[in-house]
Amino acid sequence: MARKEGSILIVDDNNDLLIALRLILSRTFSTIDTLRNPNLILSTLEKQAYDIILLDMNFKAGQNTGNEGIFWMNKILEKDPDATVVFITAYGDVELAIKSMKEGAVDFIMKSWDEQKILSTLQSAYELRKSRMQVSLLKKKQAHLTAELDRDHSVCYCHSSSMNEINQLVSKVASTDASVLILGENGTGKEVVAREIHRLSKRKNEIFMKVDLGALPETLFESELFGHVKGAFTDAREERDGRFVVASGGTLFLDEIGNLPPGLQSKLLSVLQNNEIYQVGSSIPKPVDVRIISATNMPLKKMIEEKTFREDLYYRINAIELEIPPLRNRQEDIPILTEFFLKKYSDHYHKTGLKLSEKAMEQLRLHPWPGNIRELEHAMEKAVILSEKGSVSSVTLTPRIESNRASSSPATLNLEAHEKMVIQQALREEQGNISSAAKALGINRSTLYQKMKKYGI
């Protein structure tokens, strides 16, 4: 027996016809709802979306112009331009049918009770609806891909032995669909490595989507990741695909996964185990096909011991583990990274021909870079902006590097420096757990995460 799928709303004032259509269509379609009063159409569509709306062309006795049906169709299309409307008419003349289809109808059926014709017409309309939805999804993917193409892919291949080992492992695992867990301090380039894995994979022509789990409010977690159907909650005015569906076929990068609360960890685990999601407000599973790459700066093994991170989720995301070393432990990479950022921001700010003085390079080598590559990038951007006469000098670099040193000094009277120091202390005391640190500081997770981004922590 063929699987029943697709939802239909039938709007007609003839109760006998509604009963007959429900009987005919129930063998093929999974959901069939009916309305006798067209004034209820818009409020019904507020609560649920339908694949097909089967609409009578005439509701008032003695009317046969089809104008009333076309009026309601236009109201439907104003609300949902992708709606699939099929008309019911007892007058089947070509002129009326052409008029309705010019106005936006997909097709029409006649009240002739040719069951095969009715089913054939509605099945074709349903296939068109699915095709439209696929096109809509592809447009979303393409928009995201276009935005991603504009992003630079920072230097991933460096001279240090530690990064050579990382790159060799990246080359081996990229061609597989194995889940990868990337560890490392903030700013070490975990996202860059994740993008490189995607670039070398068989999914390279599909989407790479990043989800910042540390910045995702718990109340929006399921809706953002899994999507929702129309009417699932107060503000759900239309159906929305979640990140898993949009990224299907490509790579989903789950950043800051260590900050995911235990309750949400179990929901994520269920999706990763079954390769299917349930949209909020729906009981129908949707299959997804994504390659999972996760990243965190938190000690997951210790968190497992402390029962703050699920062991089964850890093994699900960790077929391969990569740990990116901090910049202070691979100083031989600083010149390569510096030249890369120097060129990037020289081009961006139209300051061609800039060179780094020897004293400036020495200053960069001696700096401990607590913010890692991200801090180096910010330092180089500011240096390029402040540079004059084609050279980046140690004086140009000093304000940025000295301010970073000052921020760790208790003697400074700078308010932002103190705030950064307090946040760093809270994170140390809570072993990097953002939820616990936020609670200790008396702020919510999102606010703390924004401040960490601001200060490059």
Q: What are phi and psi of 192, to 5 degrees?
A: -60, -45
Distance CA 387, CA 397 (A): 9
What is the CATH number assigned to the segment(s) 414-457? 1.10.10.60
* CATH 1.10.8.60 for domain 326-407: yes
Among the listed residues 387, 374, 376, the one whose alpha carbon sits nearest the alpha carbon of residue 348: 387
| Half-sphere exposure in the Cβ direction for 409 (13 Å, CA) | 9
Q: In whole angstroms, what is the distance from residue 159 CA to residue 179 CA?
A: 27
- pLDDT for position 153: 54
Residue-wise burial string across 200-235, b where 16 or more C-beta atoms lie within 10 A, e elsewhere: ebebeebbbbbbebbbbeeeebbbbbbbbbbbbeee
| 456 close to 378: Cβ distance less than 8 angstroms | yes
Please count the CA atoms within 13 angstroms of the CA of 454 that sit on its side-chain side.
14
Q: Are 253 and 293 in contact (CB under 8 A)?
A: yes
What is d(CA 393, CA 402) in angstroms, rounded to the nearest whole number? Answer: 14
The domain spans of the chain are 7-133, 176-324, 326-407, 414-457
Q: Quick check: 446 and 453 in contact, CB under 8 A?
A: no
Separation of alpha carbons 163 and 184, rounded Å? 13
Say what the pLDDT of residue 215 is. 80
Burial class (CB in 10 A: 0-12, 13-18, 19+), 8: buried
> Which CATH entry fits the domain spanning 7-133: 3.30.390.50, 3.90.700.10, 3.40.50.2300, 1.10.10.10?
3.40.50.2300
Report the predicted TM-score, pTM, of the whole model to 2 decimal places.
0.61
- Is 326-407 in the same CATH topology as 176-324? no
HSE-up of 46 (CA within 13 Å, CB side)?
A: 7
The one-letter amino acid code at 197 reads: I
- What is the layout of strands, in order, in the sheet containing 31-35? 31-35, 7-11, 52-56, 85-89, 107-110
Count CB-CB contacts under 10 A for residue 445.
Answer: 20
pLDDT per 10-residue tile (average), the chain, 457 residues: 80 90 90 92 89 86 72 89 85 66 81 80 86 73 58 64 90 95 93 92 90 83 87 77 91 93 90 91 89 95 93 96 93 91 90 86 87 90 84 65 46 61 80 80 80 81
3-state secondary structure string across 418-432: HHHHHHHHHHHHCCC
What span, in angstroms and rounded, lies between the C-alpha atoms of 454 and 407?
13
Architecture of domain 176-324: 3-Layer(aba) Sandwich (3.40)
Give the per-residue pLDDT at 266. 92
pLDDT at 388: 78
CB 30 within 8 A of CB 4: yes
Asked if residue 451 lies in contact with residue 419, where contact means CB atoms within 8 angstroms, the answer is yes
Structure confidence at residue 406 (pLDDT): 44
